[in-house]
Homo-oligomer: A and B are copies of this chain.
Amino acid sequence: MATIAPHNSEMKKSFQPDDNQLSLLQRHSLFAAMPDNLVLNFNNAAQKVTRPKGSVLFLQDDPSEWFYLILSGWVKLFRETVDGSEAVLDMLTIGHVFGETAILDGNTHSVSGAVAEEAVMLRFPASMLRQAIAQHHDVALAMLASLSRQRKQQTQEIESLSMQNASQRIGCFMLRLCKLSDIAPYEMTLPYDKSLIAGRLGMQCETFSRALNKLRKETNITVKGAHVTIPDINRLAEYTCSCCSNEFPCKDLH
C-alpha cells in the first residue's frame, strides 16, 4: 500500500520508507517551512521506532511527549467510551504526522494512539515543535495550513456520517482507494481489517456485514477476503455519492 496518498498526508511527493531521513523531512509540508538549521535539529532529534500491532503509543489525557511521522504501517487514533467501546477516529499511514496537535491543546493528547498494523515511525520531542511554532512565524503558518486541511477533512467526515447510509459509507471508503488510472474492472485490496474499517466508518461489525451485502447487491461489486472487484465504477459512484456534496472523483484526492 506504499502508493496510497491518504486523505491528510502532507508529503509533497510519495516516499519510500528507506529514503534518506533528512530528505524525507525536507519534503514534508510541516518541516519544509522551517529554516534549514531547524530541520537539521529535528533530523538529529528524530528516533526511529518500530512497534508491533497493538502497541499503545499514548492514551487520551496523557501529557504530550512525542509526535510521530509514519514510515510504514498503520496507526489508529481512538477514544474509549464510558461503556468500554472504542471509537476509531482516524486511521493513518505512510507520510502522516500525528500527536502534534496536543501541543496546541494544553500539551495533552485529546485522543489515544495505537499501532493497527506493525509500524515504523520517526518520533520527535513535542517540546521542539512547540518551541519552533512559538519562535518562527513560518512554522506557525505551516501548522495553520496543516490544521486547516485536517479541519476540512473532518468537516467532510461529519457530512458523510450525517448524510450517507452505512452501505454508502463503505462504497465511499472503496472509491477513495481506487486509482483512476487502472483499467476496469477495478481491483483493490482493503488496507486493514474489516473490523477496523467498520469502526473507522462509525458502525458495528454486524452493521458493516449487512451494509456490505446491500452494497454488493446494489452495485455488483465482489468482495473475497480483503480483495474487492468493482465491475462498474460509475454505478458504485452513483449509488455512493448521491448523498454527498462532492461528485466523484473527490476533489481533495485528485
Instruction: Tell yes or no: A32 within 8 A of B by CB.
Output: no
Residue A243 CB within 8 A of the other chain = yes
Q: Which residue of B lies closest to A80 (CB)?
A: B245
What 1/0 flags go to A104-118 for Cβ under 8 Å of B? 110000110000000
**Cα distance A157–B87 in the bound complex, in angstroms:** 11
Minimum CB–CB distance for A243 against chain B, Å? 5
Q: Across the interface, do A147 and B140 meet the contact criterion of CB distance under 8 Å?
A: no
Most chain B beta-carbon contacts within 10 A, residue among A88, A155, A159 = A155
Interface string of A128-151 (1 = CB under 8 A from B): 000001100100110111011011
Complex alpha-carbon distance, A157 and B89, angstroms:
10
Q: Write the nearest CB–CB distance from A143 to chain B, whole angstroms.
A: 6
CB pair A79–B245 under 8 Å, yes or no, is yes
From the candidates B202, B241, B244, name the one contacting A163 in the complex (CB within 8 A). B202
Task: Collect the chain B residues with CB atoms within 8 Å of residue A147's CB.
Answer: 144, 147-148, 151
Contacts A82-B242, A140-B141, A141-B133; A104 near B148 (Cβ below 8 A):
yes
Cβ of A55 within 8 Å of any chain B Cβ, yes or no, is no
User: Are A81 and B144 interface neighbours, CB within 8 A?
Assistant: no
236-254 of chain A: CB within 8 A of chain B: 241-245, 247
User: Does any Cβ of B come within 8 Å of A50's Cβ?
Assistant: no
Kindly identify, within residues 158 to 204 of chain A, every residue whose CB is under 8 Å from any CB belonging to chain B.
158-159, 161-163, 199, 202-203
16 contacts between A and B (CB under 8 A): A60-B245, A79-B245, A81-B163, A81-B244, A82-B243, A87-B159, A87-B163, A88-B162, A110-B155, A151-B154, A154-B154, A154-B155, A157-B158, A158-B158, A158-B202, A162-B203
Q: Which residues of A contact B (CB under 8 A)?
A: 60, 79-83, 85, 87-89, 101, 104-105, 110-111, 133-134, 137, 140-141, 143-145, 147-148, 150-152, 154-155, 157-159, 161-163, 199, 202-203, 241-245, 247
